[in-house]
Structure 1
Amino acid sequence: MALTPPRSDARRILWEKDYGRWTVMSAIAAGPHYSSRWGRLIPIAFITYSLAYVDRANYSLGAAGGMAHDLNIDAAASSLLGALFFLGYFFFQVPAAYYAEKRSAKELIFWSLILWGIFAAATGLLTDIRLLYVDRFLLGVTESVVLPGMLIFLGHWFVKAERSRANTFLILGNPITVLWMSIVSGYLVQSFGWRGMFIIEGAPPIIWAFVWRAMVNDWPAQAEWLDPNERVELERKLEDEQRQFKPVRDYAAAFRTPMVITLAIQYFCWSVGVYGFVIWLPSMLKAAGETSIVLVGWLSAGPYLAAAALMIIGSYFSDASGNRKNFVWPFLLIGAVAFYGSYLLGTSSFWLGYGLLVVAGGTMYAPYGPFFAWIAETLPRNVAGGAIALINCCGALGSFVGSYFVGWLNGVTGSSDASYLFMAVALLASALLTLTLRGHADAPAPAL
């Protein structure tokens, strides 16, 4: 049996006092013990969350590609259909977090994959708008368990010095998926119509559910594929981290803490900007440039390419420094300024306005990894999952407000100018709320 490598082989900690900061340099050839968790679990988590984003963000492309016309969906109804997902997403997150922590995140995600695939495909089969309202709401309900369940799952497998990057690779499923989905969905609409797009993109989650169930374990102790020495060391370090927390009795006590309340309001405002952008970007680009649906798909990919790069860079340096706060608020502030710049430009310069949208999209996504690591490092395991779920619930409400009002403003005003100002104000509020919190700047614990 191979011996567990020294910690310095897995991750070399370099103290750069001359520059007044901590950096973590990843070992390029760390050996199988270090790479087994990352190489097995992170791709699975990434794909799972990616599939969820296909089926929540393709509505706007379907609407722009003929759905609204074929079903006689006016601007108000289209806004409500786009937003109902997030109203459904609000429900069941806290119970889901409790189930994932106390019972099994693995089983929770398995059944969610199957159900959301069914509801996603049904979007392409229904002809009655009332049934579409129900379908979009239920799609949100079934996907509501995914983020809290996945963050809890990763918290069982990755220690503090790895957590921001692990979260980032999970949430990269958002911008990376929207990047390729925007392009592929444009071609699918062109080739098979909007109904074919929804049906085709609803099938993969159902198939993937069985891959997920076969490949993952809830806890390291259950993983036969993990080296026993690494398993013992990983569990020891995770337990050592938990002993550093002050006990918190239950969810009710955790939910009353000032930090959880502030982050819940902050995430509400943040999500207003993010999902007003995600849901309506294709429609706003099409209206501004009068371009084909395929070109809209290509242009829609730009902000998500920037987002993927910034998420990786931000999470790396957040883990290296152990600081979370300072890798959240500056990005949100830049996003607010970029949206305000788009508002000032109006329709005077399409390409300059598009460049600002790329900046806004990239910076809105960049803080996700540090943000969710910050929550998990503030509360003990018995309540951290519930706090993440509560905060994500408030984000779901913000997503509903953002997706509904951005669509409504676009329809009422006939342009995107008011929407850009609305999203700028929401992101500015989110950045300012983050600044009110006490920073978390402890040096990172050595990783395995």
Structure 2
Amino acid sequence: MSDHVPGPTTQTLLASPHLASGIRKATFRLMPMLIILYFVAFLDRTNVGFAEQALEMDRNITAGAYALGAGIFFIGYAIFEIPSNLLLDKFGARFWLARIAITWGIVATAFAFVNGETMFIVLRFLLGVTEAGLFPGVIMFLSQWFPNKRRVQMFALFYLAQPFSQMLGAPLSGGLISFGDQVTPWAGWQVMFFVEGMMAVVAGVAAFFFLVDSPQKAKFLSDAEKLALRQIMEHEDTVKGSDGPRGIGAALLSWKVWYFTVIYFCLQIAVYGTTFYLPQQVSALIGQSVGWQVGLVSAIPWAVGLFACYYVGKHATSIKRRRVWGALFFLVTGSAILVSAWAGANGQSLLGIVAITVAVSAFLSVGPITWSFPTSFLTGAAAATGIGLINSLGNLGGFVAPIMRTGINESIPTDSGAWGVVSLGAFAFLAAVMMWATRFFSAKADALLEENAPAPGH
């Protein structure tokens, strides 16, 4: 007979009142700062959409150069993503996330002084380099603070920064352009870039004081709460270590990591293919030039998406529900994008706005679900590498999307650019099929973490 005494189950550890209070405190302390960081990051990488027409007029930046600049951000992002994530693991999230925000903020302000195509493209590349590691670093950070059952909810809260950024950032960007043109001696787009870049610098300084590297270093937690968090996270790391890749090399060669990289790539095609051109698409639908009115209408999809993202994150508490909802929302994303293309081509303004709103709500909702899969089997150095790989290569979808959309529109010219929009939907359908196919995966970690079986080796 074995002398080993069965260890605690996930169910037992999750039932601890000290764990519940610790998670509640960590949520209120950490999540607002993380949301602010991503709010400003998403704003600084997408506000270029509000300046496209002005840059063409004032700095002779062509549509092709704009598309290259919009997309080349993700090349710099991809190259430095994994190294940045490994450095975060070495130096700690508090220091490294603050460093990322401050340096990308400095680059973002420099866009106010763009003097031509070369400088525009170089700055977009440097913006990607300096921001590299923020998103996967936060994903890894959250996976060290919150157990599997609560992690999707935390991912969803973090993802709320995207709709907040566009809901508030769209009228903010449009308003700064109008204010700059009317009140200051500078062009409106210069004022927008400078102000929103400085917001990142301020956020980075604040992050250094608000974030805490681990539960064990958190002064706002009691000893009992620190112990409860440490026990559940160590238990889950043991489970994940028995099922997922161990070490940097194993993560790079893991077929599951590459599988979710493809899914995330398809998601980013839809996200950035829509986001980079949303102001122009709305402008064409409502017949107004880019400014305050377009900014307000552009905020509508993100406002609706905010509630959809929160609801899905709160209720996607099982692996089965995540798989079904993930496939469904990818399917809805692709369908809504196709409808928006048809509406734009046929002058159906209201239908176009509704379709864009549905597409944005769907791809925002599926993001946290997508990230719940790799974080359920990656831990340690494998997590730093795997999460960085998925995010870096997946984000190349943001490089491909504007170039693909522009290239197709030039090859098949239409007044509405409908075929470029249609191309985005095809990738969402592929992601839907791949998400549904995860039902055939063998996932021991999912079984142990979701069904509350005891950890292996006890």
TM-score normalized by the length of structure 1 = 0.89
Identity %: 26
- Aligned pairs for 1:277-426 (under 5 A) are 277-292=274-289, 293-319=291-317, 323-345=321-343, 346-410=345-409, 413=413, 414-426=415-427
The answer for the alignment partner of 2:39 in structure 1 is 50
**What SS does the corresponding residue of 1:120 show, helix, strand or coil?**
helix
Is residue 335–residue 425 contact of structure 2 (8 Å, CA) maintained in 1?
yes
Partner Cα separation in structure 2 for residue 91 and residue 134 of structure 1: 15
Partner Cα separation in structure 1 for residue 410 and residue 172 of structure 2: 26
- Aligned pairs for 1:25-40 (under 5 A) are 33-40=22-29
Partner Cα separation in structure 2 for residue 89 and residue 263 of structure 1: 18
**What SS does the corresponding residue of 2:395 show, helix, strand or coil?**
helix
Partner Cα separation in structure 2 for residue 325 and residue 388 of structure 1: 19
Cα 1:375/1:323, change in 2 over 3 Å: farther
Deviation, 1:257, is 2.4
Cα 1:416/1:8, change in 2 over 3 Å: farther
Partner Cα separation in structure 2 for residue 444 and residue 36 of structure 1: 26
Cα 1:234/1:445, change in 2 over 3 Å: farther
Cα 1:407/1:176, change in 2 over 3 Å: farther
The answer for the alignment partner of 1:118 in structure 2 is 106
Deviation, 1:264, is 1.1
The answer for the alignment partner of 1:103 in structure 2 is 91
Of 175, 180, 196, which residue of structure 2 is paired with 1:201? 196
Is residue 78–residue 407 contact of structure 1 (8 Å, CA) maintained in 2?
no
Is residue 245–residue 254 contact of structure 2 (8 Å, CA) maintained in 1?
no
Is residue 160–residue 445 contact of structure 1 (8 Å, CA) maintained in 2?
no
User: 2:156 is aligned with what amino acid?
Assistant: T
User: 1:287 is aligned with what amino acid?
Assistant: A
Partner Cα separation in structure 1 for residue 431 and residue 226 of structure 2: 39
Deviation, 1:408, is 4.2
Is residue 285–residue 352 contact of structure 2 (8 Å, CA) maintained in 1?
no
User: 1:231 is aligned with what amino acid?
Assistant: K
Number of residue-to-residue matches in the alignment: 422
Q: What whole-Å deviation, never above 9, does each CA across 1:251-286 have from its counterpart, x for those lacking one?
A: 221232222121111211221111010111111222
Partner Cα separation in structure 1 for residue 14 and residue 428 of structure 2: 44
Partner Cα separation in structure 1 for residue 88 and residue 381 of structure 2: 11
**What SS does the corresponding residue of 1:319 show, helix, strand or coil?**
coil
Q: Which structure has the highest helix share of the two?
A: 2
User: 2:48 is aligned with what amino acid?
Assistant: Y
The answer for the alignment partner of 1:21 in structure 2 is none
Is residue 307–residue 362 contact of structure 1 (8 Å, CA) maintained in 2?
yes
- Aligned pairs for 1:217-236 (under 5 A) are 217-236=212-231
Residue 267 (structure 2) pairs with residue 266 (structure 1): no
Deviation, 1:404, is 2.3
The answer for the alignment partner of 1:24 in structure 2 is none
The answer for the alignment partner of 2:165 in structure 1 is 177
Residue 177 (structure 2) pairs with residue 189 (structure 1): yes
Residue 138 (structure 2) pairs with residue 162 (structure 1): no
Is residue 170–residue 296 contact of structure 2 (8 Å, CA) maintained in 1?
yes
Q: What whole-Å deviation, never above 9, does each CA across 1:49-79 have from its counterpart, x for those lacking one?
A: 1111110010001114x22211112211121
Is residue 67–residue 406 contact of structure 2 (8 Å, CA) maintained in 1?
yes
Deviation, 1:205, is 1.4
The root-mean-square deviation of aligned C-alpha atoms, in Å, is 2.2
The answer for the alignment partner of 1:249 in structure 2 is 246
Partner Cα separation in structure 2 for residue 211 and residue 445 of structure 1: 38
Deviation, 1:46, is 0.7
The answer for the alignment partner of 2:207 in structure 1 is 212
Is residue 93–residue 211 contact of structure 2 (8 Å, CA) maintained in 1?
no
Deviation, 1:88, is 1.6
Is residue 163–residue 319 contact of structure 1 (8 Å, CA) maintained in 2?
no
**What SS does the corresponding residue of 2:346 show, helix, strand or coil?**
coil
Q: Which runs of 5+ in 2 are unaligned?
A: 1-12, 181-187, 454-458
Is residue 90–residue 144 contact of structure 1 (8 Å, CA) maintained in 2?
yes
Partner Cα separation in structure 2 for residue 194 and residue 268 of structure 1: 30
Cα 1:291/1:284, change in 2 over 3 Å: same
Cα 1:263/1:195, change in 2 over 3 Å: same
Q: What whole-Å deviation, never above 9, does each CA across 1:401-420 have from its counterpart, x for those lacking one?
A: 01222244456624231122
Q: What whole-Å deviation, never above 9, does each CA across 1:353-401 have from its counterpart, x for those lacking one?
A: 2211111111011011122121110223331231111111122211100
TM-score normalized by the length of structure 2 = 0.87
Q: What whole-Å deviation, never above 9, does each CA across 1:200-247 have from its counterpart, x for those lacking one?
A: 111111112221111111111111221111001101110011111226
**What SS does the corresponding residue of 2:276 show, helix, strand or coil?**
helix
